[in-house]
Structure 1
């Protein structure tokens, strides 16, 4: 029996504060705010979704999830055991890299070339490690 079509819709990113995270991901990284609405559970929870600029309909987005327990708060900034856990692809590496450096983003490893493209490692406002990647042509 064939598998039904599926896709990744959202990836949860645990954050300290909704508004701080929205300001960073939209202002510094240039992401689009796709949704910001109260969560059905109440209690100040919100459903906050952001996506890289130009992401089409159906693209994988980030769900900014505010940490509410001590265990969740301990994971803010280190959801992946200090590994790079997020990969931001761009068609204009130089412009996006300049955007990051102009905004004072922590560049952990400056650009280098790999067979699959040009890469740099940066940290977001919480310390999560990201690869900025411009895929190689072809």
Structure 2
């Protein structure tokens, strides 16, 4: 195999939303993500970046503008859980999200890999809120 580049990482992903304000309203307003950037690019286009508190991969909120893009809102993973939000305090974050009106598709459960619950953003994307088991302990 040829020499592969070193030091790569995924820093951001694009998430289709119907418009910027509802995306910001949910991710910043309800989930408490940081709004890293909201730059007017002209012609109704904006560069909107959000990221969970504590760091991690950024999301670029991309306003769907074509029929194909609009059809993919909330279904970028074919109906599967699409995004995984890791927390250091499941009970704290779950309670805050319940109070904020976030939609949960099930009750919290314990799995061998951690405490988890599936939630859904208002656009249809499924998320796992997860607190992993620390260092393999149960």
Category of TM-score, reference length = shorter chain: over 0.9
TM-superposed CA distance for 1:88, in Å, is 0.2
TM-score under structure 2 normalisation? 0.92
Which residue does 2:19 correspond to in 1? 17
Match of 1:113 in 2: 110
Alignment of 1:24-63 (within 5 A): 24-39=26-41, 42-55=42-55, 59-63=56-60
Runs of 5+ unmatched residues, structure 1: none
* CA deviation vs aligned residue, 1:45-80 (integer Å, no higher than 9, x gap): 11100000121xxx3111000000011001111111
- CA RMSD, Structure 1 to Structure 2 (Å): 1.0
Gaps of 5+ in 2: none
CA distance in 2, matches of 1:2, 1:30: 37
Deviations 1:68-110 (A, max 9, x none): 0011001111111100000000001001001111112111021
- Superposition TM-score, scaled by structure 1 size: 0.92
Poorly superposed stretches of 4+, deviation over 3 Å: none
Q: How far apart are the structure 1 equivalents of 2:29 and 2:110? A: 28
Number of aligned positions between the proteins: 133
Match of 2:7 in 1: 5
SS of alignment partner, residue 65 of structure 1: strand
